[in-house]
């Protein structure tokens, strides 16, 4: 069984050596050229991250980043993964993809919009296409649909349960490589089916929703009784806690100095058994330190797996390395649920 690759985010050529030397086997980045900003301002994103701070700004910078990664034998993938594009944007993006591949040497294109996938496949780029999690390949038939387009990889949505990931992997049986998330960012909804606003000044709707004050009335028009109101407030508090953990915990760290946020490292032993090709660290917008610490954690868990330790022992080790036992036991920060994840081992933590 081949070792899983670790796919790390990068937003500057200056981060390449740091990430590669720390064990990144693959890198992915975004690009938002000035002409896109002039046409659409910051309100319409070219990819799934804000133009501010998460993306390169020129093809020259992209070419430099790719050259530095290729010098270490590490491939680089480019995100073109907004949920949908209008027709005039497809022409622009097709040209951008052509330049990224032919001029800059990009190894793969992470794409979500079906029209763009078909456009790029018709250009002969099928094997370079990685279907984004935003495309919502939520079951085996969806993966097979993308496989029929000749894509090179499918990235599974992070909202799937561990049993669902296992079933898809078994039913696809290696016909197309699969990738799964292990760290940091999350979505309160199914991101590929969510078309609410993301803006670098406004933020995400799901994050703002947790900050809203709510006034609740019964169906008969009366205010809830004190006991009902207390239960509702407890529910809202749990929801706000979940949203906070899903969205990087305010960029805080654990007692051991490890950045917090949505996490799936406990699922890595199961991913190895499933034959998952690569595990992905989210967060192109994150600081270099956050990227580095996340990468070191994932690589350390992978190294522990490679010693031949039992899956349960790897999970216990990962929870200790995370440094937030109570949070891991609660499951509030977990991408996945299922065998050999932290909530199952609560008694041992």
Per-residue pLDDT tens for 19-57? 999 999 999 999 999 999 999 887 788 998 888 789 999
Contacts (Cβ under 8 Å, ≥6 apart) of 24: 6, 7, 8, 74, 295
- State if pTM tops 0.85: yes
* pLDDT tens per residue across span 85-131: 999 999 999 999 999 999 999 999 999 999 999 999 999 999 999 99
CA distance 54 to 78: 12
| Cβ 274 vs Cβ 1: under 8 Å | no
Query: Own/partner pairs for 49-55, CB < 8 Å, 24+ apart?
Result: 49/79, 49/284, 49/285, 50/198, 50/199, 50/200, 50/285, 51/200, 52/200, 53/11, 53/200, 53/285, 54/11, 54/30, 54/284, 54/285, 55/11, 55/29, 55/30, 55/31, 55/284
Residue partners of 277: CB distance under 8 A and separation at least 6 = 4, 5, 153, 177, 178, 179
- The answer to whether the CB of 201 falls within 8 A of the CB of 302 is no
| pLDDT at residue 335 is higher than 80 | yes
Cα separation, 76 vs 296, whole angstroms: 19
Gap between the terminal Cα atoms of the chain: 30
Give yes or no for residue 3 having a pLDDT over 80: yes
pLDDT of the residue at 192: 79
Q: Which of 103-112, 278-287, 302-311, 320-329 has the lowest mean pLDDT?
A: 320-329
What three-state secondary structure class fits 29? strand
- Helix crossing, 87-102 with 59-70: angle to 10°? 40
336, 160 contact by CB (below 8 A): yes
SS3 of residue 16 by DSSP: helix
- Residue 12: both structure tokens together: 């500057």
CATH for 5-194+247-348, options being 3.30.70.20, 3.40.50.450, 2.70.70.10, 3.20.20.380:
3.20.20.380
DSSP letter assigned to residue 124: I
Residue identified by tokens 């910078």 is 61
In angstroms, what is the C-alpha Rg of the chain?
21
Asked if residue 34 lies in contact with residue 57, where contact means CB atoms within 8 angstroms, the answer is yes
Is residue 292 a contact partner of residue 8, using CB atoms and an 8 Å limit? no
């Amino acid at each position: 069984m081949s070792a899983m690759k670790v796919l790390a985010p990068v937003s500057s050529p200056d981060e390449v050596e740091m990430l590669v030397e720390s064990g990144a086997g693959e890198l992915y980045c975004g690009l938002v050229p000035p002409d896109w900003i002039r046409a659409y301002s910051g309100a319409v994103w070219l990819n799934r991250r804000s133009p501010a701070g998460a993306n390169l700004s020129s093809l020259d910078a992209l070419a430099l980043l790719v050259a530095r990664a290729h010098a270490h034998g590490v491939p680089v993938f480019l995100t073109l993964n907004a949920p949908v594009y209008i027709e005039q944007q497809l022409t622009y993006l097709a040209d951008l993809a052509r330049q990224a591949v032919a001029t800059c040497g990009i190894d793969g294109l992470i794409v979500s919009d079906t029209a763009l996938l078909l456009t790029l496949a018709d250009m002969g780029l099928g094997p370079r296409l990685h279907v984004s999690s935003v495309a919502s390949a939520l079951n085996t038939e969806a993966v097979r649909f993308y496989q029929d387009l000749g894509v090179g990889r499918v990235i599974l949505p992070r909202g799937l349960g561990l049993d669902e990931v296992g079933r898809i992997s078994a039913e696809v049986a290696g016909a197309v490589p699969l990738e799964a998330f292990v760290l940091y960012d999350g979505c309160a909804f199914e991101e590929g089916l969510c078309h609410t606003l993301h803006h670098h000044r406004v933020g995400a709707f799901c994050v703002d929703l947790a900050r809203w004050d709510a006034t609740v009335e019964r169906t008969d028009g009366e205010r809830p009784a004190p006991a009902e109101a207390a239960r509702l407030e407890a529910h809202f508090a749990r929801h706000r806690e979940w949203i906070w953990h899903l969205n990087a915990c305010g960029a805080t760290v654990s007692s051991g100095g490890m950045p917090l946020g949505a996490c799936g490292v406990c699922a890595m032993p199961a991913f190895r058994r499933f034959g998952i090709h690569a595990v992905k660290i989210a967060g192109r917008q994150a600081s270099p330190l956050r990227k580095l610490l996340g990468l070191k954690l994932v690589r350390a868990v992978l190294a522990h797996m490679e010693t031949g330790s039992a899956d349960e022992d790897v999970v216990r080790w990962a929870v200790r390395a995370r440094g937030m036992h109570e949070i891991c036991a609660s499951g509030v920060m977990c991408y996945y649920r299922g065998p050999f994840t932290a909530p199952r081992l609560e008694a041992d933590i």
